[in-house]
Structure 1
Amino acid sequence: MPRLLLSLLLLVACSTSSFAAEKPNFLWIMSEDNSSHFLKWFDPTGASTPNIEALAKEGLTYDNAFSNAPVCSVARTTLITSCYSPRIGTFHHRKSFIVPMPEGLKMFPAYLREAGYYTTNNSKEDYNAQKSKDVWDESSRKASWRNRQPGQPFFHVQTYTTTHESSLHFPAADIDNKPTENDAEAVFVAPYHPQSKEFKYTYARYHDRIQQMDQQVGKLVDQLREDGLLDSTFVFYFADHGGVLPRSKGYAYDTGLHVPLVIRVPEKFREQLPQTTGSRIEPFVSFVDFGPTVLNLAGAKVPDQIDGHAFLGLGEQQLVESDESFGYADRFDEKYDMVRTLRKGKYRYIRNYQPFNFDGMMNNYRYKMVAYQNWKEWFDAQKLDGPQSQFFQARPAEMLFDVSEDPYEINDLAGDPMHQEVLEELRGRLDEIVVGMPDLGFYPESYLAENAAANPVAFGQQHKADIAALQQIANLQLGSFADAQSDIAKALASSDPWQRYWGVIACSGHGAEALPLKGTLVKLAESDPENLVRVRAIEYLALYAGQDPAEAMGKALENAKTATEANLILNSVVLLRDGSPGYSFSIRRQQVEHLKQNRGELERRLEYLDPK
């Protein structure tokens, strides 16, 4: 036998032998846009999912699994990077600019490839960070583990769109003409939703979709079984975030963040796990933890630069357990907000940094859903009260919920004297997280695009003290205005435009109580050198001093330097037009025709404000 051929055969034999060293395979099955509330395995009001339940009975059920973000691109970027998006600059959906991965860090499947794994994705990516060529062997609608070398271990991701939000973009006529398999009169409707026929039908139709997705899960698992791979493959089933009925996807409540997670443990590795097959796991896990968990199970090195930690491992490893999960919600398509949340034990603390941006502000894609339209119509007709109307009203700067007693988060305990100790503990812990990262959300997106896009992590570290100062100013919304007034006045007089910016937002957080600073705010609205500071001051004066903002907002829009800046200005326009007291604006496309690039989200706002 020729020596070259013999060498090649030995190489293949050695390679196959190393593959056969019983490294586990991994299959991630992701459904889109559904919280744990929609599966009966996790919530008695959910739909029956026998195939997912079968996986759970041969594995582990995680009762406290959370996406770190309630929307696709941010959640999926968190998954693939194992990093908190506000730290690495990937926290807006959809991205107006793409950023590099943190220096020295790769998306985690690249480390699996280095360890000999065949990595495939079918097929949604939706990343806000730059993907290198070493992440996937194949990422397409044809990607499959079946194309790997014989004996090669694999990591495969399969996304099913069956439950995606778009599945509920049906015409209103369907309600009377297309019956659902689940009984619309018997289905559970969350207490913050109108008990209307539109909502009942939408819930029932979504339960139908959940069950269709469950059938897809079963068929994919059958493929593994047919290939003789089920006994060597960890099968993860989870959703990419919560959703998708109104007030879930895009919102940092439990319904937007709490996801179902089941991990079927292959027979070949069950004896190596300390957990008992079929058990339910109480400690918290988050999307930042999924990547390091797979790397740990695969025996690959977990990089130091990530934010997550492994929650599952073979042998007698001492793994960190947690009772908390950090979450974030910022720009969602064209709609701006800045919300940070901490779920710790049975409590969820929510920090609304811009509380005047009410949840129900127009978002074009959301309002394609009949249920969204119905909810707004009922609110406008004054048919709603209590928790059903809050979606369209300003929120408190901070909220606290006991999710064990109040799973739909309608009873805010932040003002309850009996819960002040818990409130202060969770507030302090959240402050510690956002300052420690540090959180880039304290800068407007347009400023980050111009100054931080090349290396957001380095920018954050260079400005860590500045961000801490902005966070302290933002927290002047909390407590009494009398106690905060002098510090807010200092912020408004700062030479740093973003301290002035957050000083104005702190005024808006206090509402009419901040009117003693009206004179300063008028000056900022008229002559501040930073356009966005002027916008925030105009916004305050419109909300609480009765000053018509139309002309001043129009000028600010014409002065915008980028489409991203213009979109933030139009967010204030929509707030002031659609919310209370409701001002009239005449927004024209000609006002922003000088802005040529990254106009996607700006066009969504113009579609609403100045339809062609």
Structure 2
Amino acid sequence: MLRGLLSVVLMLLLGGSLLAAEKPNFVWIMSEDNSSHFLKLFDPTGAPTPNIDALADQGLVYEHAFSNAPVCSVARTTLITSCYAPRIGTFQHRKSFMVPMPEGLKMFPAYLHEAGYYTTNNSKEDYNAKKSADVWDNSSRKASWKNRKSGQPFFHVQTFTTTHESSLHFPAKDIQDKPTDTDPETVFIPPHHPRTKTFKYTYARYHDRIQEVDRQIGQLVDQLEQEGLLETTFVFYFGDHGGVLPRGKGYAYETGLHVPLVIRVPEKFRDQMPEKIGSRLDSFVSFVDFGPTVLNLAGLKVPDGIDGHAFLALGNAHLMQTDEAFGYADRFDEKYDMVRTLRKGKYQYVRNFQPFNFDGLMNNYRYKMAAYREWRELFDAGKLNQTQAQFFQARPAEMLFDVEADPYEAKNLANDPQHAKVLAELRGRLNNRVAGMPDLGFYPESFLAENAADNPVAFGQQHKDEIAKLLEIANLEVLSFDEARSNLMEALGSSDPWQRYWGVIACTSHGKSALSLGKQLEAIAQSDPENLVRVRAAEFLALHAEVDPAAVLKKAIADAETATEANLILNTVVLLQDGQPGYEFDFQQSDFQHLKGSRGELDRRLEYLIGK
């Protein structure tokens, strides 16, 4: 009897071990701050990466993989939640407030953890949503799969900082004193950058960093092989968003969103994969899809309520494929913007909701890079061609690019009659996405912090009709002024402050054409009951009617309650000071002492405007 019982127990234990052994392991390798343009595997102008190439030979290359956001915290939060950031309130970088996960959802590694996986992260998190205790067994610089139980399947994330933006924060003397392994005379400089000594050196130095991270990736893969784990482990390699050369990281262009993605398929599971090993796939995948894909490969249910879908499966499961990718860019450190993108097939549609906020607007951390500083100096000196100068000028509300013919998005096709049908289709598709979420970016950050932080998803659903109306007003930007005029007047006279807010922004986007509404805008600047609406009206008058905004903006700072609100006001100050025609402001540190809340981004602005 005892012997029989022991046999049953032994069989159960062996069965459990076999079951564990049948479950695949997963390793995610992320290199910081590099787009697909920097790897020869994806672009002939990129750096050689023999170790990543070896993963590709034994797996799959994704030609169209996208970070949904072009900056760390928003991109990484999208990855870990499998949810679009503007829907769940995690779209600002750096966060001024943390939000909960959507009701009923966890960050996806928690589902692996519940299923018996050992989950580890080494080590960057940078999430804008609150993390539960069951997401990681260990998240630290010492985290590794090595501490799991015998036979326990694992999911491990490894971030390499070698290619981070800070690697290009070198003193100008390095150009002479520290030669690069890559010959600066051989590197490709895209058309939006000037081909100067500084830019050539910066590109060459970054190619060196790409090759160094490739070496580190090779060492990590060798570890897995030496421990006998490689043939049961799916290895994902990808960049965490676009590259750090100017107009990459932080900006919703291909260079900020299009990432390299290679997935090495372990030998044990290759016969269960419908895809041919070594192939290059054209289907579009985005960061919202990565978590569901891992869960699917692990044999786990993908939770309802997320935005992504699995793009790989064991067996012959039919998976959804798409040729679309949705992107978003909002506050990036202290610099505000609101951009939404839709890549469909070979076309990239870019919707600049505040097009007068030019890309090159001051952002302290960006301008630590010598190439950024030189680019701006050359613009100020009038030494750039139009393609190179665009970074420092107001943008159109709509841009359309054929990224196969024009990979660096230099030729805007939005006004080309031959592309009118494509423009209308992509505009409609993007509007449907934004309204359907709904997108919380139509409210100022300070308003969301006060009213939506406890449950952004519920707030969005409760205000879905209001957000649709704000989108409708914002879309008056893409009409001619004559077509938009009556609706703009209605928005400016609305009892809803955010309808007035977007009405003013739309007027500013129309420029001098909207001067016929100048009297109404002057009244708003002087007496609107909402502080931020007054600021936007002063912005219009300063840009297009040559009305000095200093008094209105000084009072707006005095009336502001939080550092977040004041930082948005200072975005207008920097725009009007550094852009044309240029205004002078006389702020003192004492003007900001009364403000509540986190001051990190505000202090960055004040450092630039008035010094420490």
- Output the TM-score relative to the length of structure 2: 0.98
**Contact preservation (8 Å) 1:19, 1:153:** no
- The residue aligned with 1:74 is 74
How many residues align? The count is 611
- The residue aligned with 1:497 is 497
- The 2-side partners of 1:523 and 1:302 are apart by 53
Change beyond 3 A, Cα 1:296–1:544: same
Partner AA of 2:101 in structure 1: M
Q: Note the C-alpha offset of 1:597.
A: 2.0
1:389 aligns with 2:389: yes
Counterparts of 1:559-574 in structure 2 under 5 Å?
559-574=559-574
Q: Note the C-alpha offset of 1:596.
A: 3.6
Secondary structure of the structure 2 residue equivalent to 1:390:
helix
Counterparts of 1:217-236 in structure 2 under 5 Å?
217-236=217-236
Counterparts of 1:450-489 in structure 2 under 5 Å?
450-489=450-489
1:274 aligns with 2:280: no
Counterparts of 1:293-304 in structure 2 under 5 Å?
293-304=293-304
- The 2-side partners of 1:462 and 1:386 are apart by 45
1:446 aligns with 2:417: no
**Contact preservation (8 Å) 2:358, 2:393:** yes
- The residue aligned with 2:88 is 88
- The residue aligned with 2:52 is 52
RMSD over aligned CA atoms reads 1.6
- The residue aligned with 2:429 is 429
1:550 aligns with 2:542: no
1:120 aligns with 2:120: yes
Partner AA of 2:29 in structure 1: I
1:309 aligns with 2:314: no
1:509 aligns with 2:509: yes
- The 2-side partners of 1:480 and 1:62 are apart by 40
- The 2-side partners of 1:372 and 1:247 are apart by 9
Q: Note the C-alpha offset of 1:20.
A: 3.2
**Contact preservation (8 Å) 2:561, 2:596:** no
**Contact preservation (8 Å) 1:19, 1:152:** no
- The residue aligned with 1:583 is 583
**Contact preservation (8 Å) 1:16, 1:151:** no
- The 1-side partners of 2:539 and 2:587 are apart by 16
**Contact preservation (8 Å) 1:19, 1:116:** no
- The 2-side partners of 1:552 and 1:33 are apart by 39
Counterparts of 1:52-451 in structure 2 under 5 Å?
52-451=52-451
Q: Note the C-alpha offset of 1:586.
A: 1.1
- The 1-side partners of 2:165 and 2:475 are apart by 34
Q: Note the C-alpha offset of 1:550.
A: 1.2
- The 2-side partners of 1:63 and 1:113 are apart by 31
**Contact preservation (8 Å) 1:16, 1:150:** no
- The residue aligned with 2:593 is 593
Identity over aligned residues, as a percent?
73
- The 2-side partners of 1:226 and 1:155 are apart by 18
- The 2-side partners of 1:8 and 1:25 are apart by 28
Secondary structure of the structure 1 residue equivalent to 2:22:
coil
- Alignment deviations for residues 137-178 of structure 1 (CA, whole Å, 9 cap, x no partner): 100011111110111110000000000000000000000110
- Alignment deviations for residues 341-385 of structure 1 (CA, whole Å, 9 cap, x no partner): 000000000000000000000000000000000000100111012
- The 2-side partners of 1:262 and 1:247 are apart by 24
- The 1-side partners of 2:28 and 2:21 are apart by 22
Q: Note the C-alpha offset of 1:243.
A: 1.2
**Contact preservation (8 Å) 2:232, 2:267:** yes
Partner AA of 1:308 in structure 2: G
> Unpaired runs of 5+ in structure 2?
none
Partner AA of 2:469 in structure 1: A
Change beyond 3 A, Cα 1:417–1:144: same
- The 1-side partners of 2:407 and 2:8 are apart by 61
- The 2-side partners of 1:11 and 1:238 are apart by 41
Partner AA of 1:580 in structure 2: Q
- Alignment deviations for residues 541-569 of structure 1 (CA, whole Å, 9 cap, x no partner): 00000001112111111111110000000
Secondary structure of the structure 2 residue equivalent to 1:20:
helix
- The 2-side partners of 1:508 and 1:154 are apart by 53
Moved over 4 A (4+): 5-12
**Contact preservation (8 Å) 1:105, 1:303:** yes
